[in-house]
Amino acid sequence: SALLYIVATPIGNLEDMTFRAVRMLKEVALIAAEDTRHSRKLLAHYGITTPLTSYFDHNQTLKGERILATLRDGKSVALISDAGTPCISDPGYHLVRDALAEGIRVVPLPGACAAVTALSAAGLPTDSFHFAGFPPAREGKRRSFLAALAGVRATLVLYEAPHRLAATLADIAAVLGNRQLAVARELTKLYEEFLHGTAHTLLEQVRDGRERGEVVILIAPGDGMSAAPEGPAPEERLRTLLAQGHSVK
């Protein structure tokens, strides 16, 4: 019977496409893409001529129904997004959930994902990481979002829009304090680079609001306590930790 394939596509470098992804995209009856104009370039590059339909956040109820109807009809469908793995800060979750609810088999085809790609070369702990997606765009909400992550004992992985990088680094400095950070920029592309430092030192390298290029922000795990300026000073936090029985190495 028909299958729903969730197919990862490159995050910049067209060569990061798997042989299996190319074959499946040729074999399915329909490809559902976030932006058909964007995906047409990738498909043309690989000689894929499968019919395309759009599936994005604002039409997902209607389009999801049509895609499910195609699957019920016995025709397999592949879901792709503009870049990377569908459903990861991209549309797809509702479609996958609804397909599973109808007993349709959902098959993931692994490939590029900016979060994991960044993590693999950032030099921050990888044993445990917490992917938190995009922080809210407004400062107040962004600061509460970061404060809620302060106690997570794992490397934090965030996506951010380039023009908000400076503002978000400033909020990380204010809310999470002096942790080690990495910013992965333009992964797999010509100007790929990793910046390392604290939020403070990285801010000096980032031109306010005029940044270009896609970025992933990675934040080393903290000691589990918030470093908000209105919170306790470092010496006082240390005293509290010692009082709680933590030892200083």
| 188 touches ligand SAM by CB under 6 A | yes
Q: At what angle do helices 60-72 and 93-101 cross, to 10 degrees?
A: 40
Of the pair 98, 160, the CB lying nearest ligand SAM is at 160
Give the span between the Cα atoms of 57 and 103, in whole angstroms: 23
84 touches ligand SAM (CB under 6 A): yes
Choose which of 31, 32, 43, 83 interacts with ligand SAM (CB under 6 A): 83
Nearer to ligand SAM, 41 or 249 (CB): 41
Q: Would you count residue 88 as binding ligand SAM (CB under 6 A)?
A: yes
Amino acid (one-letter) located at 5: Y
Q: Is 18 in the site for ligand SAM (CB under 6 A)?
A: no
Distance CA(222)–CA(243), nearest Å, equals 18
Three-state secondary structure call for residue 78: strand
Residues in the chain: 249
CA nearest neighbour of 95 among 225, 1, 199, 4: 4
The distance from CA 104 to its chain's CA centroid, rounded to whole angstroms, is: 26
Q: Which is nearer to ligand SAM, 90 or 139 (CB)?
A: 90
161 near ligand SAM, judged by CB under 6 A:
yes
For ligand SAM, which stretch binds (CB under 6 A), given 46-54, 67-75, 156-164, 169-177? 156-164
195 near ligand SAM (CB under 6 A): no
Of residues 22, 17, 52, the one with CA closest to residue 38: 52
Per-residue mark of binding to ligand SAM, 103-132 (x: CB under 6 A): ----------xxx-----------------
Among 36, 53, 89, 201, indicate the residue that binds ligand SAM (CB under 6 A).
Answer: 89
Contact between 90 and ligand SAM (CB under 6 A)? Answer: yes
Q: Which of residues 215-244 bind ligand SAM (CB under 6 A)?
A: 215-216
| Residue 14 identity (one-letter amino acid) | L
Mapping DSSP to helix (H, G, I), strand (E, B) and coil, where does residue 95 land?
helix
Q: Is 186 in the site for ligand SAM (CB under 6 A)?
A: yes
Residue 160 binds to ligand SAM (criterion: CB under 6 A): yes
The residue type at 9? T
Q: How many CB atoms lie within 10 A of CB 208?
A: 12
The helix/strand/coil state of 186 is coil
> Can you give the binding site for ligand SAM, defined by CB under 6 A?
11-12, 81, 83-85, 88-90, 113-115, 159-161, 184, 186-189, 214-216
